Amino acid sequence: MKCKKNKKNCLEGHVRQNPMPLVKGMTVDQVIDSSMFSFNAGAFRKACELFANHCVRKNVRIGMSLAGALVPAGIGRSCLIPLIKAGMIDWIVSTGANLYHDLHYVLGHEFHEGRASVDDEKLREEGIIRIYDIYLSYDALLDTDRFIRDLLRRERAGIPQPCSSADIHALLGKEIITIRPDVKDSSLLAVAYEAGVPIHTSSPADSSIGMNIAALMLDDETIHMDTHQDINEVTGYVYDIKKRGGKSAVLLIGGGSPKNFVLQTEPHIQEVLGLPEAGHDYFIQFTDARPDTGGLSGATPSEAVSWGKIDPAALSGTVVSYGDCSLMLPFMTSYALNRAKSRPLSRLSNKRGRLVKQLKEDFRSKR
């Protein structure tokens, strides 16, 4: 088929690939820009560019979902903490497991490199916990359980009743800073607390933190955690920035419940509360899940449009990069730190009550 236009203009409007030879001393962002153009490499480069050039801006609020054992893999220290300190993450929804494992560092326990192919019965006898190829002492679990129960038992009277999961995680972060100021900069919970970045868990009972709260209930020391309060708080973050003419960006690391909890903020605004909104403006996901299996982790941005989660006009601002999150996130973090300027901290933790109040007032007024 011949080009309908002048031959010189056939590909007008399409960005020309410009691969460059890799040389010694190049930074990560230079390597990405010089060599990643097609297939998953091209999608990954576009994700890096979208995050650094469009999401990390003054009037964009960035929410992150975190699934998978990424804190044990070292991602908490190497990537999440630098992004938080640079003002590139405003709020987080994580599995409870990542936050539980973050506490091990504070108590003097470290993760060790192991092997995935091993006799797990022997590891059990030796008191070693395995997370694929990561090893951890069983004593770390016992010490961390004790730490959580003792803290919550001591501070129970000061915890709001009911509370959101963000209240519990803020309490943990504050305690880390108090008792271990020497290691606070290595703790995701402590850094997030100090930066005012709220961390939520969509399924708080599905983790060891939740199990320890359940144990307190058996001692008649109940802590009333209401995850519906979490729904309104995270929705308040999105509604507030959109009401003020800003934009909402979502950075989805893996899938599962945290992914949906971040995305469902928009259906909550539009469908349930009946407030005018169109959807998130930027969508970046790193996943190894396929869309055709029906799992949420593989659900595409265009599918999210049908739910009202993504603004239809913003599909050009969406990227899904398929691969291993533990591999991709360090490179994207380096890219963003090299290419984007740090932003002032939004400190949403201090604004949760006010933002929920705004959401409540507008909902009641609309109704």
181 within domain boundaries: yes
pLDDT at position 4: 60
pLDDT over threshold 90, residue 311:
no
Sign of CA dihedral 222, 223, 229, 231: negative
Is 195 contained in some domain? yes
Told to judge if 174 belongs to the known catalytic residues of this protein, a careful annotator would answer no
Q: How many Å is the maximal CA-CA distance in the chain?
A: 80
Answer whether residue 322 is part of any domain: yes
Dihedral class, residue 276 (left if φ above 0, else alpha if ψ from -120 to 50, else beta): beta
pLDDT of residue 326: 92
Per-residue pLDDT of 83-105, as tens digits, reads 999 999 999 999 999 999 999 99
List the catalytic residue out of 184, 247, 259, 309: 309
Domain assignment of residue 361, given as a range? 51-366
Distance CA 305, CA 16 (A): 30
- Between CA 258 and CA 265 the distance in angstroms is 12
Confidence of residue 14 (pLDDT cuts 50, 70, 90): confident
Asked, for residue 204, whether it belongs to a domain, the answer is: yes
- Is 343 domain-assigned? yes
Residue 296 lies in a domain: yes
- CATH number reported for the structural domain that contains residue 261 in this entry: 3.40.910.10
Q: What is the mean pLDDT of the chain?
A: 93
In a domain, 205, yes or no: yes
| Signed CA dihedral, 204, 206, 211, 212: sign only | negative
Q: How many domains does the chain have?
A: 1
pLDDT tens string 251-263 = 999 888 999 999 9
Q: Is residue 301 part of a domain?
A: yes
Looking at the whole model, is its pTM more than 0.75?
yes
